[in-house]
Structure 1
């Protein structure tokens, strides 16, 4: 059976545990990724005689497996990798890690055990059942590892990986689309592990011609491996310093130019002039100005600009400082703006990147329409402030799928949204001395919630605050009259207490109607999605793209609900659960739904997975359909009986615990039945009953024993019923046909979850209204005169009490 993505990720990350201690993440990534590469190409070559990677005899992963326990395992692994590298011109790419390094891997038996265990983990990953070409399973696993390595490597080593969420934005806003030719070229002068190039290439239907350069030797090797794992073996990745020794040049010695460029250069590089005299640059990259000697941000931007052909487009990640810093950078910025090369700027949230916590921006370059943006009457620059859209993920921030989609939609379609995006004319930029700091042009701050002094003094809720909820009143036109009534000019009074606001809204007919309407697009989407027609060979990535785009479009005009929030519900569920199901189905078909996998722990280890069923002491894991879904559809009566038995057990346990608590104090009737741990047990009660002489104590002991017996009987009845139900469920799996599996998977699992999530989103939106109404009511519930009178009344009451006591203030 095909391996699930999450299972593969878990196994790969477990392999990292074998290496921790002897080196940091920036080093052990070389070992783990090399073994992943060896396993992948070996499996692929075995199943595909036309594989682009030739695996000669004695140079496969299977040859590594044969070395487990070998005293010379490290040296022999090196030789196996070297043989494969030699055969495929991969010297310096896959043989970077030294598997015989005693300082990192230990000496003697430590090295033997560590490498044997490491190989054993990869040996247990069956990649032969997965088509990496169709679903990028291995490429995605590679990115998963890279993300974790970057997280663990910290600030100094995180530069080799650009978060995939940011890569996706660059790939989409740079202008690559379904009409882009396969012959088009894409270039990254600081390509790191190659993720940006791959994301850009993915945007074209048949990929692009890839060119990259990376200064760090180990990182350029990662990029080469990444290309092969993503079936881009012909990608051209070169080692070297892009600024001082650019690799890609035309026959005339000038820089080669490309259709597209994407890049995440090192921020504010202080050594960018190493090996380079910018004043005498033979490639003419600095005609618009020479960047400061100790800050190379614009050096990379100017290199990329020079590397674009006359219709070329680029997208570059740079720190926010490039938008407003002065002196030499200000002159360069002005020249680029005046030439019209900058199409747009996207401000990103802070703390997205692994090498730094500072906020960054994406500068989008476009030579093809530069003239239309240049000059005093030019179109100017499209700006997006996306700094507020993210979620916390550990100690970093991360863009959600909805954040990415919103940024791309707004930028590519030129949509102006309040506090988010706008087209800034060139004359406004000129008036600001070519300063491009986004807050000068877009105020993304939330409107201040101002208190009304008159309302605090005289009472009433300001109508301006109620009017601000106009989006809700348009959907619930009579609800406002249910909640508020006119009090005085410009103010209203509450008709419902703050505590009853939410229940009043939920019970209102207009809300019930809205809740029903909000599910109509989902129902129509579910019918048209035809999820039960998923077949072997389908592409999971194409499937989720089509599904998510369709769902997003259906909620485009639904009032109150954000189409991006609904889109996120699907994307979250896809990432958490649904994609694993689909990946298995497109590999093994619907019969995979009935598979129950036996769980067997390795010798001396505990099970790493929680079993779904235990039948005759054998533990099973359901691959796709949880037993709860089987129970809900086929065994409702049995489950109801089980619930009743559970209730009986709970009652018996509560009765027993209450009786013991009442009678086990120091002078209680069960005090002599306490065991060494000061607990009353059935054993201690039985033993004391044989010795007791007091009639009242004996009666209490008999009652305790009776309650213990009742609890034991209830436990046995529940266990017997649970075992019988488990056995019936186990047998039912074997009876499932394709239609039954489709119903369980599509209706009971996927669509039921999504429907519940959308219903919860409707309630969340309603809660926002309820919270605001409640806040306004509580804020102005007692005007100052009432508060003053209340204080005076309380003071008089206190004075009265003091006088009655013979005291006076």
Structure 2
């Protein structure tokens, strides 16, 4: 498999993981795969740094490094100074590969390499960031195989998976870190309930990161007290500009040692310098960490704090538990009146993070919904947080976002510098999601709406509310979201007077906002007033629907919308085909989606976030991969590239364009040839239909049952018997045999003709790629990316109109029959019944 894009790399690594881990639990296999991947990175970085130190080409680095015995001390010192570590020549990944090829590799080679690495870093000032990194990778574990040979075989296969990847080169563009993060996420989804130890879903991280970065003026330090894999820290960093991301210092603490190792690997693979990261393996609740380096007796405070602690953790378990050690003299808890309950440490984690938040900083924490309304000690802590004016935002999320729990969670945002009188923004985002298998998933539009509301602090009916302290006090300090944000449901209002006397209520028609905005005159003309406040349709419903769509306002709106769509496409197509190498594609996606949100909305008709999502879907479907290739290889080379396609067993099944599919090239550049193939395909379909008709006729004819077995026609029997029949006979069986034989031959001939024509057209098409001009590539890409875009956008407008037309049709039907009409129908039915009964008596 040729690797050219991030998605290619992700697919290859995860496919390899799925094949190699067999029946091993994903939460265990991740330690081996991610550990071996990271060791390859350390090895490649060692060679890359040696290449720079020795001023030799990178392709010579391995052999020269092996041969540098006479200067080994100087080389090692230089590598420690540059990297903070080095891998010995005999322990290099490349040496492992050679041993595998020579069939001399042993499991002991990995154990020796790790021991040597740990010994070599002892003199490094960054020793803490590398020490014990591979402690959770137990290569003697029976999980890897029942005996030494099995473990050796499985480890060899895993090592070979990364053999051809230059990790040092991949790290330069964040590809390596993103691939690692992708694998962490995949292992998280596969690990189920165990995923909570190390993984926060990407879309939740995105909400927290964008909220943090949009509400904090400057972020130079960030802290996660339950750091997991480090994904929250890295997601926040991704939303900072280059200068601030370079300056950022990362802090985190993690209780689980395997996950602690995962964090450090993740940060290093993302290019975080060792002197910019301080990650500790410890119990956040048991020991207050970190202290200020300059003032050892003072806690360190941070510009941003993010955390996703274990939900409702029992912090009283075990001897000498964190709960038993906790007291109200602890400065983390002393201002809040009580400790968190011993079986629910949610507020203990929150107060720890808040204690380490700088006065100008912002904190975001994921918590179970219960912290908003549970009583007892939690009620007292919640009340004190509110009285101290430290809760800024509450965001209610959909349920089942996490693989380790189905309960709904919230993101709570806290600040220490809120002005007196500032209200608490409460957002109910629980309905904004899409189903993804068993899980719910936030869409890009859902994230954008949450973040926009945080920025504007607008009150949106059914979505957000600004709650004053007085209002919260009146609710007895209960922050349960439904108390503040009423869910908006489309109530099916039944008007009693309308049912009794007939007629659509005028207010029901006025509530059709889209139709009233675009076609009010046509709507008014289609109804007559039958009494004050009630109207009756004067035309058929289908005529009414047609009248609305032919309304001047609807047509004008569609034309204006089409103009806006065309302008948007022109603008963005021009940008997408000219991508500077240093341009962030993620930032470009965000900018394009935001532009659609503003340029392609229609107030009160097309929702701005619907337009946002159409563009986000475009990136998911095509643009993420295509633009990456264009940025790397240029427009023409990308458009001309052809690749060999294989099935899941590795068998070659054909060739196709890497970015431009051959079906699109045929549609645009081989119109006549494609039409010829289409004609042959239609003829083949007709031949197939005629054949199937004869088969069905034969099955229903008892005289022909000898030619069927288990419902299948026996062609050999037909061929044999046909020879023995008198060809001049008018026998019905002979007639069917002849017809069937003719139809069977026509079906086969037609099928062969189609295959021959398709193969010939495919051959022409593949040959054509090499001569595609720049203009042709542009035409084809425009069709691929935006061929359906106009229709998708216009559908948003049509959907808005159709939704209200359906409501209108329901209203007309609902109030067409009055009470007197129903009573008359009832009398008629009763009379009919009496008549029928009388006839029965007489009979």
Assess same fold via TM > 0.5. Answer: yes
SS in 2 for 1:236: strand
Show the counterpart of 1:614: none
Matched, 1:594 2:624: no
Q: More helix by proportion, 1 or 2?
A: 2
Q: Contact 2:359 / 2:415 at 8 angstroms: preserved in 1?
A: no
Query: In the TM superposition, what whole-angstrom CA distance separates every residue of 1:685-733 from its partner, at most 9, and x where no partner exists?
Result: 3222102244323333223222222222322222222122111101111
Show the counterpart of 2:161: 121
Q: What's the CA shift for 1:664?
A: 4.3
Query: 2:545, 2:47 → 1: CA distance?
Result: 63
Query: 1:39, 1:160 → 2: CA distance?
Result: 22
Query: 2:117, 2:564 → 1: CA distance?
Result: 54
- Structure 1: segments with no counterpart, 5+ residues: 612-618
Q: What's the CA shift for 1:34?
A: 1.7
Show the counterpart of 1:298: 347
Show the counterpart of 1:570: 615
Show the counterpart of 1:615: none
SS in 2 for 1:154: helix
Query: 1:543, 1:46 → 2: CA distance?
Result: 34
Query: In the TM superposition, what whole-angstrom CA distance separates every residue of 1:76-126 from its partner, at most 9, and x where no partner exists?
Result: 2343445455555423223421233234433244334433333343346x4
| Shift in CA distance, 502/651, structure 1 to aligned 2, threshold 3 Å | farther
Matched, 1:79 2:112: yes
Q: 1:733 aligns with which of 769, 776, 781?
A: 769
Q: What's the CA shift for 1:752?
A: 1.7
| Shift in CA distance, 772/537, structure 1 to aligned 2, threshold 3 Å | same
Q: 2:253 aligns with which of 191, 203, 213?
A: 213
Q: What's the CA shift for 1:195?
A: 0.9
Matched, 1:255 2:299: yes
- Where do 1:693-708 residues align within 5 Å? 693=726, 694-696=729-731, 697-708=733-744
SS in 2 for 1:735: coil
| Shift in CA distance, 589/180, structure 1 to aligned 2, threshold 3 Å | farther
Show the counterpart of 1:229: 269
Show the counterpart of 1:652: 687
Q: Contact 1:73 / 1:115 at 8 angstroms: preserved in 2?
A: no
Show the counterpart of 2:327: 279
Query: 1:288, 1:315 → 2: CA distance?
Result: 19
| Shift in CA distance, 64/539, structure 1 to aligned 2, threshold 3 Å | farther
Q: What's the CA shift for 1:287?
A: 2.1
Q: Contact 2:218 / 2:303 at 8 angstroms: preserved in 1?
A: no
Show the counterpart of 1:616: none
Q: 1:336 aligns with which of 378, 385, 395?
A: 385
Q: What's the CA shift for 1:245?
A: 1.8
| Shift in CA distance, 281/621, structure 1 to aligned 2, threshold 3 Å | farther
Q: Contact 2:170 / 2:176 at 8 angstroms: preserved in 1?
A: no
Query: 1:533, 1:229 → 2: CA distance?
Result: 29
Show the counterpart of 1:239: 281
Query: 2:581, 2:182 → 1: CA distance?
Result: 25
Query: 1:331, 1:356 → 2: CA distance?
Result: 27
| Shift in CA distance, 95/293, structure 1 to aligned 2, threshold 3 Å | closer
Query: 1:557, 1:167 → 2: CA distance?
Result: 31
Show the counterpart of 2:336: 288
Q: Contact 2:461 / 2:488 at 8 angstroms: preserved in 1?
A: no
| Shift in CA distance, 157/704, structure 1 to aligned 2, threshold 3 Å | closer
- Where do 1:574-653 residues align within 5 Å? 574-590=619-635, 591-599=637-645, 606-607=649-650, 611=653, 619-653=654-688
Q: Contact 1:2 / 1:130 at 8 angstroms: preserved in 2?
A: no
Q: Contact 1:501 / 1:773 at 8 angstroms: preserved in 2?
A: no
Q: 2:492 aligns with which of 446, 449, 454?
A: 449
Query: 2:238, 2:215 → 1: CA distance?
Result: 9
Q: 1:326 aligns with which of 362, 375, 378?
A: 375
Query: 2:827, 2:169 → 1: CA distance?
Result: 79
Query: In the TM superposition, what whole-angstrom CA distance separates every residue of 1:204-225 from its partner, at most 9, and x where no partner exists?
Result: 2131211111111111111111
SS in 2 for 1:315: strand
Query: 1:42, 1:767 → 2: CA distance?
Result: 61
Query: 1:205, 1:177 → 2: CA distance?
Result: 15
Query: 2:203, 2:740 → 1: CA distance?
Result: 62
Show the counterpart of 2:748: 712
Query: 1:657, 1:147 → 2: CA distance?
Result: 50
| Shift in CA distance, 495/621, structure 1 to aligned 2, threshold 3 Å | same
Query: 1:637, 1:75 → 2: CA distance?
Result: 65
For the aligned residue pairs, the C-alpha RMSD in angstroms reads: 2.8
Query: 1:527, 1:47 → 2: CA distance?
Result: 44
Query: 1:561, 1:396 → 2: CA distance?
Result: 28
| Shift in CA distance, 743/363, structure 1 to aligned 2, threshold 3 Å | same
Q: Contact 2:91 / 2:109 at 8 angstroms: preserved in 1?
A: no
| Shift in CA distance, 245/675, structure 1 to aligned 2, threshold 3 Å | same
Q: Contact 1:179 / 1:204 at 8 angstroms: preserved in 2?
A: no
Q: Contact 1:473 / 1:479 at 8 angstroms: preserved in 2?
A: no
SS in 2 for 1:714: helix
| Shift in CA distance, 460/653, structure 1 to aligned 2, threshold 3 Å | same
Matched, 1:400 2:438: no
Q: Contact 1:214 / 1:220 at 8 angstroms: preserved in 2?
A: yes
Query: In the TM superposition, what whole-angstrom CA distance separates every residue of 1:305-346 from its partner, at most 9, and x where no partner exists?
Result: 211222222111222222222232222222222222222222
Show the counterpart of 1:63: 95
Show the counterpart of 2:712: 679
